[in-house]
Chains A and B, each alone.
Chain A
Amino acid sequence: MSQNAARTETMVLNMGPHHPSTHGVLRLILELDGEVVVKATPDIGYLHTGIEKTAESLNYTGAISLWDRVDYLAPLSNNLGFVLAVEKLLDIANIPPRAQCLRVLLVELQRIASHLVWLGTQAIDIGAVSVFLYCFREREQIIDIFEMVSGARMMTSYIRVGGLAQDIPEGFEKKVRDFIRTFPKRIDEYETLLTQNQIWRDRTVGIGKLSAEEAIDLGVTGPILRGSGLNWDIRKSHPYSSYEQFEFEVPLGQNGDVYDRYLCRIREMRESLKIVEQALNRLPKGPVIIDDRKIVPPPREELATSMEAVIHHFKIYTEGFKPPVGEVYVSIEGPRGELGFFVVSDGSAQPYRVRVRPPSFINLQALPRMLQGRLLADVVACIASIDIVLGEVDR
């Protein structure tokens, strides 16, 4: 090569942790050739809060509140996953049907809320600003419902071992019905803005492709896996919380690109809405929590008349309950994929170890593969399509 021949070299671009569209504090080290990504290396850990370790010093009921903070876009799903694990540890099988049904209802609303944040951020990352605000308008409705039942907009901690913290308040049904009535039109609205939009298709079709085999190799779950055409939904394959009684479809994609993941999630929102409606229609009467005084505090009014109730109350609030020695793994279908909780009990009132299988963390593994040889503009589209929550990635 002569001295004058043009010499090109790649540029290393440090994207994040403070970048507008890395969805929190993800850091990507991008090696760029012009705008083409030669190599992408995600760097995580900027939001590490030691939540799993903290859980070891709280009792089981107290630990529920931690999982709200792991995936702060789907706190109820996290509540449910952990509670199901503890219930398995305690061998509780007789959760009241009303509680089961409400759990499904709330978790599906949560899935819609979480997908709305995903849709909003995916749209804003590709440049469609308005969709973001429309999504947050609808999410606000769901959050109002959560506030109504639990008193908190985001950190709900509403699901308890054995059932729910309390029954739903008056007016709940009306609010949910309102939402069921208005929301399908809103989804149509998003779809008018995006689905057939030529620019949107240009930016998403064929971008961030992941074949079903690759997805399985990487342990990817949730809408990304289903976008690649693999029918795997834990609600169907290992039903929990009475999901087997509900009718819904599992939307599948074909190409495993950003567009198919988009379509999957949009259809999932419609399916979730169906589940919510079914749950509301069949909502059984009865208690919302089991009647086991060793696990659930006695009702307030009993405290005035029953000495035994006072003792149980004291024991539960000072110490908590003690599951038998053992270890369990329970997973549910969170909005982002398989959300698993591995809980080890040493017989004390605090968990010996809790390990979360966070879907975001594992799905993030697929990012370098998706980005290989793509343009810088596709990087943000791919990150958004994985729908990561950094709180969950780093814990």
Chain B
Amino acid sequence: MELLSPLVPILIIVIKSGVAIFALVTAFAYAVWIERRVMARMQSRIGPNRAGPFGLLQPLADAVKVLLKEEIIPQDAKVPIYLLAPAVSLVPALLSFAVVPIGPEIEILGQKITLYLADLNVGVLYVFALASVGVYGIVLAGWSSGSKYSFLGALRSSAQMLSYELPLGLSVVGALMLAGTLSLVQLVEAQKNAWFILLQPLGFLIFIVSAVAEVNRAPFDLPEAETELVAGYHTEYTSIKWAFFYMAEYINMIVVSSIAVTLFFGGWQGPFFPPAVWYFLKVAAFIFLFIWLRATLPRLRYDRLMQFGWKILLPLSLVNIIATAAIMVWQG
């Protein structure tokens, strides 16, 4: 045992990573299920209810179906990049979850275990960096598919990324200034007394709008606008490669919701329930918001979206930073 003790932290990390990935993939599966059920109710339909009780086994059935689909590689595809793109899309989505704290430290078998994988001192930066890498998956997929619809999807995606990463990054600066840290764990602690949504309402609004654009959800789902571009960047993808994009989208949605919860809604903090439950409820509320938006709003047009990003959100987020700074200086 003495000899093994240095290995224990490593073992814990490995187990936690495994659990995190498993949890994320499960969360993805059920986010899809919830989306389909909730959207169905909003649209006066029933939604999937055949596989298992309340259709709870639907994700499993979908997974089997997707795995058994024929693998098709288009003739004009640039094969290595074409195959790489889905992974480039999915892996950063999974990785960015590493810094999200879903609760305080707990003790299992005498070992102190943190409910996050890493407490990076540049946590927020790390998440945004990975999100930017994830966009490459979309751009590469669109470019390498050898299809014009995919290509247009990729073009839109890069334009969208350029217009929205900036306000997204700037919108959280206010919160970061208040907390004085980039670490997500310390950010949660900084909100012990007041959630940052109360101190940074404008920052939050900008963040949530940019976040919807960042994860390509309606009304900003231009890169995959079905009625215009067939399926946008993933038009030419089938089978598990397509599922990767699908997973990336939903996991990104979960990650973005987690970041919103961590930065503006006090993370896992809350009365009565255990921290993990609070975290889960808050994220679920955001997922619901995403679904609600999708069921309600029409799609923006690509030039209007860029105008909105550059002419409204970016100045607003700068104003937010300056105002926050001014108030902080004024209050000493």
A: which residues have CB within 8 A of B? 11, 13-14, 19-21, 34-35, 123-130, 133-134, 137, 193-194, 197, 199-200, 202-203, 375-380
Contact = CB atoms under 8 A, between A and B. Distances in A.
B230 A199 contact: no
A203 B302 CA distance: 10
Contacts of A125: 227
A278 to B, nearest CB: 30
A69 B223 CA distance: 37
Contact of A197 (B294, B297, B301, B303): B297
A127 B301 CA distance: 10
A19 B230 CA distance: 7
B294 A202 contact: no
Residue of A34, A124, A377, A380 with highest tally of chain B CB at under 10 A: A377
Interface stretch (B37-45, B109-117, B181-189): B37-45
B299 A126 contact: yes
Given A126-B227, A377-B302, 8 more contacts: A129-B218, A133-B44, A193-B296, A197-B297, A199-B298, A200-B298, A203-B300, A377-B299
Using C-beta atoms within 8 Å of the partner chain, give the interface range for chain B: 20 to 34
A130 B304 CA distance: 22
Contacts of A375: 301-303
B295 A130 contact: yes
B152 A376 contact: yes
Contact of A133 (B43, B148, B298): B43
Contact of B227 (A13, A127, A193): A127
Given A13-B148, A133-B43, A377 B298 contact: no
Contacts of A129: 39, 43, 218, 294-295
B309 interface: no
Contacts of A134: 43-44
B302 A35 contact: yes
Contacts of B226: 20-21
A127 B299 contact: yes
A127 B45 contact: no
A21 B299 CA distance: 14
Interface of B: 39, 42-45, 148-149, 152, 155-156, 218-219, 221-222, 225-230, 294-304
Nearest to B307: A202
A35 B152 contact: yes
A14 B42 CA distance: 35
Contacts of A21: 226-228
Nearest to A18: B230
Contacts of B304: 202
B225 A127 contact: yes
Nearest to B308: A202
A20 B227 contact: yes
Contact of A130 (B42, B152, B156, B303): B42
A133 B302 contact: no
Contacts of B222: 377
B45 A123 contact: no
Nearest to A34: B155
A13 B152 CA distance: 10
B82 to A, nearest CB: 20
B72 to A, nearest CB: 16
A120 to B, nearest CB: 11
B228 A199 contact: no
Contacts of A34: 155
Contacts of B227: 20-21, 124-127, 380
Contacts of A376: 152, 228-229
22 contacts: A11-B148, A20-B226, A21-B227, A34-B155, A35-B152, A125-B227, A126-B227, A127-B227, A127-B298, A128-B296, A128-B298, A129-B39, A129-B43, A129-B294, A130-B296, A134-B43, A137-B44, A193-B296, A197-B298, A377-B301, A380-B227, A380-B228
Nearest to B231: A20
A35 B219 CA distance: 19
Nearest to A124: B227
Contacts of B43: 129-130, 133-134
B219 A20 contact: no
Nearest to B300: A199
B179 to A, nearest CB: 34
Nearest to B304: A202
Contacts of A200: 298
Contacts of A127: 218-219, 221, 225, 227, 297-299
Contacts of B156: 35
B103 to A, nearest CB: 36
A124 B297 CA distance: 10
Contacts of A193: 296
A134 B44 CA distance: 7
Contacts of A124: 227
Contacts of A35: 152, 155-156, 302
- CB-CB nearest 7 A-B residue pairs: A127-B299, A21-B227, A133-B43, A128-B298, A127-B298, A126-B298, A125-B227
A317 B43 CA distance: 47
Nearest to A127: B299
A21 B227 CA distance: 5
B75 to A, nearest CB: 16
Nearest to A132: B43
A128 B297 contact: yes
A377 B221 CA distance: 12
Contacts of A199: 219, 297-300
A381 to B, nearest CB: 9
A237 B300 CA distance: 40
A344 B295 CA distance: 51
B32 to A, nearest CB: 16
A204 to B, nearest CB: 9
Nearest to A197: B298
Contacts of A130: 42-43, 295-296
A147 to B, nearest CB: 20
Contact of B301 (A20, A123, A194, A203): A203
